Amino acid sequence: MAPQPAPDPDALDCRASVNLSGLEDEGEPIDPDPLDYDPMEDSFGHNYEPEEAPVTGGALPQELITRAADIFRRHLGFEEPETQPQKAGRVSKLTATGEASYKPKTTIPVDATCYDRFEAIANKTKWTAFPARADRAVRVPDEAWKDLFRCPTIPQEAKERLKAEQGASSTHVFKTPDQRKLEELLVEVDMAARSGMKFASVLMLSAEVLMRHHQQLPEDSSQVSRDEAGQLLLLLGPLVRLAYDQFARVATRSVKARRQNIVSAIHWPSTEAKDRMLELPILGEDLFAGCFQKKLRKR
């Protein structure tokens, strides 16, 4: 029999860490008396609802984030973050019970592309919920499309009831312009978010197969080839950018809608003055890019 190659220790270590990572919350409660104990009733005899199961698989271990930040800086050429003086703050003493407060100190670098793509989407003449060509390229089964990735529509019965009670016209479901604008905004944001979910679903599948490629051992019956892994790696860049763009679409649409909401509540002497306020840059923590008072004086 030909000698078997030695297993990759990194693959073994990675496999063990992944398999064990989800076990910490799976401990079974001890049943004090299987015959008399009712798990749906507490010691005072009052019924209670069980806690909702948490969504798993989304934890970001701080140690892994720290390593990732170091890797990004080492291989992508980002500069080290500036050292800031530590502020005196509250210090928890509850370390033994695992309740100590903790603030992550590692910062992940942000590439200039993030700014460029955000500004490009914000500066588009016409906002769209998703890139049509890319959205068509990622086709999913009809059932998944209807359940997850399609924005729900108002049923005809609800439309007729709204028209009957509000006296709306046959062309509009809602009578007031504010209600119509709100419905339009929420539908657009919903469509953008679901398109991003669809791109992210492909990312999750790709990450799973690539992790299996990294973890696989020579004796495993199912092998992910290097060529297959390479093809998925080529998908990662476009998919991540598309997913990022969808978040940017939601953010820019929300910012512009909030601006419109405020500007429409203020009297402006001309349409031009109002438009100048709405066309301010999107980047920054101030909703009006720090120019509200300046633009207000120009009216």
Query: Half-sphere exposure of 233 toward its Cβ, with a 13 Å CA cutoff?
Result: 11
* pLDDT averaged over every residue in the chain: 79
Q: Is 30 part of any domain?
A: no
pLDDT reported for residue 11: 38
* Counted domains in the chain: 1
68 or 194, higher pLDDT:
194
Q: Are 195 and 130 in contact (CB under 8 A)?
A: yes
Does residue 233 lie in a domain region?
yes
pLDDT per residue as tens digits for the range 119-151: 999 999 899 999 999 999 999 999 999 999 999
Distance CA 178, CA 185 (A): 11
Per-residue pLDDT reduced to its tens digit, 213-254: 999 999 999 999 999 999 999 999 999 999 999 999 999 999
Q: How far apart are CA 61 and CA 80, in angstroms?
A: 21
Residue 218 counted as domain residue: yes
The residue-averaged pLDDT of 4-13 equals 42
Domain containing 238 equals: 128-242
Helix, coil or strand: residue 38: coil
Residue type at 187 in one-letter notation: V
Q: What is the pLDDT at residue 51?
A: 58
The CA distance from 280 to 261, in Å, is: 15
Whether this model's pTM surpasses 0.85: no
Highest mean pLDDT among 4-13, 69-78, 165-174, 197-206: 197-206
CB 118, CB 283: distance < 8 Å? yes
pLDDT at residue 116 in the model: 95
Give the whole-angstrom CA distance, residue 189 versus residue 250.
6
Residue 256 lies in a domain: no
| Cα–Cα distance measured from residue 201 to residue 208, given in angstroms and rounded to the nearest whole number | 11
Lowest mean pLDDT among 43-52, 61-70, 231-240: 43-52
In a domain, 191, yes or no: yes
206: CB partners within 8 A, 6+ apart: 232, 235, 236, 239
